[in-house]
Structure 1
């Protein structure tokens, strides 16, 4: 089938970084790849794109698995609806296609769940994070360009049927937690406390991404982005990226490229690609690029997840 053949080659859609090929994966990367293929039904590019930064990839997968995929108090259809709505609000058409198709494959959303349950808020956190990374490193559709235009609607229906069938399989919670060491749950994320698996994933994942930020994002840049995200109401900043240049202007010249990349990722991820070349001139490694964008994405995700 053309859709299945195309999806097997979907890692080729990743831009700006080179994912580790499945046959070359070792250690933590191999462990994450194996879990993703088993529990998601395919090696999902939004997770695999992180593979040059293994701990960050494990964090992204852990959040996705324990909030969205694992069995819990909330029906999978209700969580897929949350994932789709957050992705639409963040202008992430790739994730809207994937999770909207999965929702249709499940037969539509389950009844709304009462209250801010940890799985629901965890799903919001996960997709505020993933939407930004997908906007930076993937295109607008999960379907590769070789799928003809006239077949794309049907291909999405096939994808939805595949994902819906996969989503019905039971996945016990907690299986991903061994991928990263235990960590304390940040106070502002205490909404996760009602589910030990979600809480464990949130604590471990946010600690891993914070450590990545300490490695690759200079402290003055972290301070600037934290302040900018803290006062942001979520309104898109517009087509111009001058605001990011202006916000970074007070930093040392060597810090401005990373600040501009982090700011755009945090608040206008669909425009962050315009800052990558300047950042690469300061640090050409895929790992550093992923750690900067992951840290910025998580800053916004923590601020916008909407916990009680």
Structure 2
């Protein structure tokens, strides 16, 4: 990983180039208060990216997006985080958000679930050995179409359902905002 100063400099410079011309991203170096707390936690637990900083003009919204996404998808709880991240990658692929797809597939690889990441990337999820994982990836993909009856038949234990729904909600939103901002 790049040293922090270099990462922040690259992020500050590249974000301004890639964001829409009417949008001024917050600088990771020149922020305070709630926004600084969100960026600090994001950097520690995930990484700072334009989808998060794109909400910098409203730190409360930025904090809500970050904490909701972190708690729903990035933390091992009732479901393992790698599976929720893989579900997000499949959904991102379906939503045609290559930025999110690449980011989430790299995290799936990082969790040592290379076979799952490769299955998603190549759209050959049938090669994933675990049928429960395949079914959950298909369920996440089905969230793209609100009328899809697959969403009405969740494959999750009752205690997993809030995390599964939260994962689909947060990544559906971040796919759209990333497409807009980046």
- TM-score interval w.r.t. the shorter chain? 0.5 to 0.7
**For the residues of structure 2 that align with 1:136 and 1:7, how far apart are their CA atoms?**
23
Give, in angstroms, the shift of residue 34 of structure 1. Answer: 1.3
Matched, 1:55 2:60: yes
Name 2:169's counterpart in structure 1: 125
Q: In the TM superposition, what whole-angstrom CA distance separates every residue of 1:75-112 from its partner, at most 9, and x where no partner exists?
A: 11211111101101111000000001111121224863
Matched, 1:134 2:178: yes
Name 1:145's counterpart in structure 2: none
Aligned residues: 137
TM-score by length of 1: 0.41
TM-score by length of 2: 0.66
**CA, structure 1 residues 64+49, in 2 after alignment: closer, same or farther (shift >3 Å)?**
same
Name 2:44's counterpart in structure 1: 38
SS of residue paired to 1:22: coil
Name 1:15's counterpart in structure 2: 19
Give, in angstroms, the shift of residue 22 of structure 1. Answer: 2.0
Name 1:88's counterpart in structure 2: 93
> Unaligned stretches of 5+ in structure 1?
139-308
> Unaligned stretches of 5+ in structure 2?
117-129, 137-154
**For the residues of structure 2 that align with 1:95 and 1:6, how far apart are their CA atoms?**
22
**For the residues of structure 2 that align with 1:57 and 1:2, how far apart are their CA atoms?**
25
On the 8 A contact 2:85/2:104 being kept in 1, the answer is yes
Alignment of 1:58-77 (within 5 A): 58-77=63-82
Q: Which has the larger radius of gyration?
A: 1
